[in-house]
Structure 1
Amino acid sequence: MVFPGADGVTSVPESHLPAGFLGGRRDGVKLLVVDRKGGAISSDIFMNLSEYINEGDLLVVNNSRIIKASLSAYFPRLGKYGDFNFGTSRKGGMVLAEPRPKELNRDLRANDEVQLIGPDVSAKLIRKHEEFERFWWIDPGVDGNNLMTVMKSYGKPITYSHVAFPVSEDEYLTEFSRVPGSVEPPSAGIPFTEEVLDDVEGAGAEIAELTLHCNLGSLEFFEFSKKERLLNEEYSIPGRTLRKMVETRSNGGRVIAVGTTVVRALESYALENSIDYREEGSYEGSTDIFIKRGFNFRAVDGLITGMHDGGSSHIDMISALVGPEMLQTAYGLAVQWGYLWHEFGDMTMIL
């Protein structure tokens, strides 16, 4: 199967700016509705999301908030400037980071000094990641708490080339963003507005939360697929959310994940625990789960997500949920209907 955007095979229309920059509303993006059981595929506007929600459904959202994890940097041995994008992974005083632009990686060596611009801090490259050579374990030159302070004062959101110019942290925040920790945005929540949430609850559905802090995810096409794992990510699921899932299922409702991050957290939990868990408190865990075709979904019945490039881990997950043939058809129609890709683009709802 060849999906739009897969390794440059088919170009896709990209969203280069948030909706507000274009004079639009966050909830004014398109919504591709895929009925995986009935086979119907249709197009709507995201503000009409509640029309596809049933009474008794449960939407589970990720309340992680993005942090400004990209710092401008100077690489003295190379005489070049770039960025250092910091991840969430820590190991023995080292922090995972990715130098950008990616071409820098060809010439970097262990023990290279990196001068972080602004805070006047010198970091040092220690070694490449054990599996993903795009990433480095580094000594950041400050301890973890001070690194967070440095990023808050001097950092910027991690941004990739499809975005026309750097945008503020606020553009990545959602109605649910409460717990700082993601270095890349859990962007499926971006189109949700107060009006959309009111309509969803008015349709008789409920909203529950969990936290998964997104790690770095900028690997080139198929690199995660070849390893069949992602970088490790920490998550926390409140007991209330787990109880609501049990009640929803027992009453015939659907558990709908808002974003692939929610799917990873819930399905990782379900692999290790009975889904009828009802205790108070929260379940803390970590996951590097890679969901592909043939996966047995235990926790979720539907998914609300963005438009993803072929070759990404997101496509593998969606293909596992809806089937590759239907996904191929749906994405083909999305291209015909003028859908826009990436975090500020249009949305997909799979039920």
Structure 2
Amino acid sequence: MRVDLFDFQLPPERIALRPVRPRDAARMLVVAANEPLLDRHVRDLPGLLRRGDVLVFNDTRVIPAQLEGRRGEARIGATLHKRIDLRRWQAFVRNAKRLHEGDRIDFPADVMAIAEERHADGSWTLAFAGDEPVEVLLERAGQMPLPPYIAGKRPTDAADRSDYQTMFAARDGAVAAPTAALHFTPELLATLDEAGVGHETLTLHVGAGTFLPVKAEDTADHAMHAEWGRIDQATADRLNAARAAGGRVIAVGTTSLRLLESATGEDGMIRPFDGDTAIFITPGYRFRAIDGLMTNFHLPKSTLFMLVSALMGIERMQLAYAHAIAEGYRFYSYGDSSLLMPG
């Protein structure tokens, strides 16, 4: 499909630079098949779902994966986005033209890495010195890797260390937050529990590739980035049982959705999963695992806007986004939410 079909104009002032407080006070646009658009808030979610429904959250934790260092006199920026092993990470590098294989990069707090290998997509493998896990080094030397549309407007600060983590964050490895879950609070989760709405967690370590633009003119020519994820047997069994009992599986975030769809067979059964997924969902895709999606508002011509268009239809999502812009919804990672129910 033509990528320009997924374009729209977003006024810059609609880009949220901070989250609302409390988190569940964010607005939520309800988009359901063959029904009018509804303007609600995230805290209204218990009244919009049914007893027996299950929300699926991503429990990945964002690591401070943004590093600023030097190769000699040259300033080098690195955003780690995929762990290779205990000492080596794949990274997107700023000022990469000043970097050569074998070069040493010095980062703050006595953290040092060797530029080991340059990849075809322009990223690098960085091999870190020492015995400590790289995640420990990042806690000393790194910053939270805010999306470029926020980082380009203000510096990262101490508030982002907590603002850019969900309440479910438990497993280190993401370099971008699963932002749909940023809206949840313990109080909201307790209300959902009382309403008979269950919840489960899986893990998908979101990579920096989620922010890469689609440069191809046709979706068939776009190479999707890979991310590592895991669903265990017990979680898969509970989700299958919930659907068999008539409950709906609602992914909280596109990361949860992509992993669920990667783990589900043609028979509609969710199975354990442990490995990389590079699933690219565009209109025409037949959803097997999920019955709905809660997600923030996405960038034009992005793989994520393509995904929601696959779920609800391009015309429907263009209409929904036009409504959100006109009504002053806040967009992107720290912005408002939407609840998409296709059936």
Give the TM-score band, short-chain normalised. 0.7 to 0.9
Unaligned runs of 5+ in 2: none
Deviating beyond 6 angstroms after TM superposition, the runs of 4 or more aligned structure 1 residues are none
Q: Following the alignment from structure 1 to structure 2, what is the Cα–Cα distance between the partners of residues 31 and 159?
A: 22
Q: Does 1:172 align with 2:173?
A: no
Q: Does 1:237 align with 2:231?
A: yes
How far residue 271 of structure 1 moved from its aligned partner, in angstroms, is 4.2
Q: Following the alignment from structure 2 to structure 1, what is the Cα–Cα distance between the partners of residues 89 and 249?
A: 35
SS in 1 for 2:177: coil
User: Is the CA contact (8 Å cut-off) linking 1:230 and 1:290 kept in structure 2?
Assistant: yes
Aligned pairs for 1:118-157 within 5 A:
118-130=108-120, 132-133=121-122, 135-142=123-130, 145-157=132-144
User: Is the CA contact (8 Å cut-off) linking 1:184 and 1:217 kept in structure 2?
Assistant: no
Residues 187 and 87 of structure 1, relative CA distance in 2, 3 Å threshold: same
Residues 202 and 146 of structure 1, relative CA distance in 2, 3 Å threshold: closer
Residues 219 and 207 of structure 1, relative CA distance in 2, 3 Å threshold: closer
Q: Following the alignment from structure 1 to structure 2, what is the Cα–Cα distance between the partners of residues 219 and 199?
A: 33
How far residue 117 of structure 1 moved from its aligned partner, in angstroms, is 2.2
Residues 179 and 276 of structure 1, relative CA distance in 2, 3 Å threshold: closer
Q: Following the alignment from structure 2 to structure 1, what is the Cα–Cα distance between the partners of residues 242 and 91?
A: 40
Q: Following the alignment from structure 1 to structure 2, what is the Cα–Cα distance between the partners of residues 249 and 274?
A: 10
Q: Following the alignment from structure 1 to structure 2, what is the Cα–Cα distance between the partners of residues 176 and 44?
A: 23
Q: Following the alignment from structure 2 to structure 1, what is the Cα–Cα distance between the partners of residues 28 and 276?
A: 31
How far residue 91 of structure 1 moved from its aligned partner, in angstroms, is 7.0
Q: Does 1:205 align with 2:197?
A: yes
Partner amino acid for 2:337? M
How far residue 160 of structure 1 moved from its aligned partner, in angstroms, is 3.3
User: Is the CA contact (8 Å cut-off) linking 2:147 and 2:176 kept in structure 1?
Assistant: no
TM-score of the pair, normalised by structure 2: 0.87
Residues 245 and 331 of structure 1, relative CA distance in 2, 3 Å threshold: same
Tell me which moved more, 298-307 or 218-227.
Answer: 218-227
Unaligned runs of 5+ in 1: none
User: Is the CA contact (8 Å cut-off) linking 1:87 and 1:216 kept in structure 2?
Assistant: yes
User: Is the CA contact (8 Å cut-off) linking 1:186 and 1:259 kept in structure 2?
Assistant: yes
Residues 148 and 125 of structure 1, relative CA distance in 2, 3 Å threshold: same
Q: Deviations over 1:166-219 (max 9, x none)?
A: 133211222211122212111111010112112222222111111111122265
User: Is the CA contact (8 Å cut-off) linking 1:212 and 1:233 kept in structure 2?
Assistant: yes
Q: Following the alignment from structure 1 to structure 2, what is the Cα–Cα distance between the partners of residues 288 and 81?
A: 32
Residues 94 and 240 of structure 1, relative CA distance in 2, 3 Å threshold: closer
User: Is the CA contact (8 Å cut-off) linking 1:71 and 1:85 kept in structure 2?
Assistant: yes
Identity %: 27
Residues 173 and 91 of structure 1, relative CA distance in 2, 3 Å threshold: closer
How far residue 142 of structure 1 moved from its aligned partner, in angstroms, is 4.5
User: Is the CA contact (8 Å cut-off) linking 2:270 and 2:289 kept in structure 1?
Assistant: no
User: Is the CA contact (8 Å cut-off) linking 2:268 and 2:288 kept in structure 1?
Assistant: no
Aligned pairs for 1:143-292 within 5 A:
145-163=132-150, 164-167=154-157, 168-217=160-209, 219-223=211-215, 227-271=221-265, 275=269, 277=271, 283-292=273-282
TM-score of the pair, normalised by structure 1: 0.85
SS in 1 for 2:84: strand
Partner amino acid for 1:156? Q
Corresponding residue for 2:338? 348
Partner amino acid for 2:177? P
Q: Does 1:44 align with 2:53?
A: no
User: Is the CA contact (8 Å cut-off) linking 1:184 and 1:215 kept in structure 2?
Assistant: yes
**Count of matched residue positions in the alignment of Structure 1 and Structure 2:** 330
The Cα RMSD (Å) is 2.5
Q: Following the alignment from structure 1 to structure 2, what is the Cα–Cα distance between the partners of residues 289 and 255?
A: 19
Q: Following the alignment from structure 1 to structure 2, what is the Cα–Cα distance between the partners of residues 109 and 177?
A: 34
Q: Following the alignment from structure 2 to structure 1, what is the Cα–Cα distance between the partners of residues 171 and 112?
A: 29
SS in 1 for 2:279: coil
Q: 1:299 aligns with which of 277, 289, 294?
A: 289
Q: Following the alignment from structure 2 to structure 1, what is the Cα–Cα distance between the partners of residues 297 and 45?
A: 16
Q: Following the alignment from structure 1 to structure 2, what is the Cα–Cα distance between the partners of residues 69 and 50?
A: 35
Residues 273 and 115 of structure 1, relative CA distance in 2, 3 Å threshold: farther
Q: Deviations over 1:210-261 (max 9, x none)?
A: 1111122265421485654432222111223212222222222211000111
Q: Following the alignment from structure 1 to structure 2, what is the Cα–Cα distance between the partners of residues 319 and 108?
A: 40
SS in 2 for 1:97: strand
SS in 2 for 1:68: coil
